[in-house]
Amino acid sequence: MAISYTELCDKVQSRLPEKRMRHSLGVATVSAELADRFLLDSSVASYIAIYHDAYRYSCDESTPDYCRKHGIDVFPEEENEPMLLHGALAAVHFDEDAEDSLPDFYKLAVRHHTLGSDEMGVYGAICYIADYTEPGRKHLDDDDRQHIFSSPTLEEMIIRIMDMQRSYFERVGKKEAVVSIRLYEKLKSGFRF
Ligand SMILES: [Fe+2]
Ligand SMILES: [Fe+2]
């Protein structure tokens, strides 16, 4: 049996600075609320959420090869910026840290929380939304949060988040990852997780 949420929380805490831990707890709270709202399992959502950034400070130039060795496809944007692979690294270590073999959808959810993907599943969608909106995030105000949370579906919430991100990327001259563009386009044409 996998370790409990509280035990996982302690493990994550030993890997993260206080501020990142506070963020992770915020993501867990919002994830549980979203799961309740969409009639999903809130304990699964918070288990995934508390773990999503556990390897946020563990990436270096060796991480792309390490992930490939563990069967993970590395996107070109991740190759150029290995920090983006912290979700992939968490996916590699999730079973070992949880002390059990977890269902694949747990690992897909943490793997894709950084760039988003059409393979992240409903729990990945929840983690992605909660990661962007948790109360500690200062790039959003109440109106922005209201704009996102008033969407009737998880898919529409992600479209709204990606619209905000896209205008931010445009302002700072950053290019969106191919996997994110594919997700956005699929969502716009009616894709459901
Ligand atoms: Fe993250
Ligand atoms: Fe995060």
The reported pLDDT for the residue numbered 180 is 98
The pLDDT profile of the chain, 193 residues, written as one tens digit per residue, is: 999 999 999 999 999 999 999 999 999 999 999 999 999 999 999 999 999 999 999 999 999 999 999 999 999 999 999 999 999 999 999 999 999 999 999 999 999 999 999 999 999 999 999 999 999 999 999 999 999 999 999 999 999 999 999 999 999 999 999 999 999 999 999 999 9
The reported pLDDT for the residue numbered 104 is 98
The reported pLDDT for the residue numbered 28 is 98
Which residues neighbour ligand 1 (ion) by CB within 5 Å? 53
Among 115, 121, 111, 96, residue whose Cα is nearest residue 52? 111
pTM of the model as a whole? 0.97
CA of 182 to the centre of ligand 2 (A): 21
CA of 113 to the centre of ligand 1 (A): 6
The reported pLDDT for the residue numbered 97 is 98
The DSSP letter of residue 120 is: S
Task: Specify the residue for token string 């994550």.
Answer: 12
Burial of 23 (0-12, 13-18, 19+ CB in 10 A): buried
Domain residue spans of the chain: 5-188
Tell me phi and psi for residue 156, to 5 degrees.
-65, -35
The reported pLDDT for the residue numbered 41 is 98
Which tens digit of pLDDT belongs to each residue from 19-44?
Answer: 999 999 999 999 999 999 999 999 99
Q: Are 29 and 87 in contact (CB under 8 A)?
A: no
Which residues neighbour ligand 2 (ion) by CB within 5 Å? 53, 131
CA of 146 to the centre of ligand 1 (A): 22
Q: Which CATH class is domain 5-188?
A: mainly alpha
- Give 145-174 as a DSSP string: HHHHHTSSSHHHHHHHHHHHHHHHHHHHTP
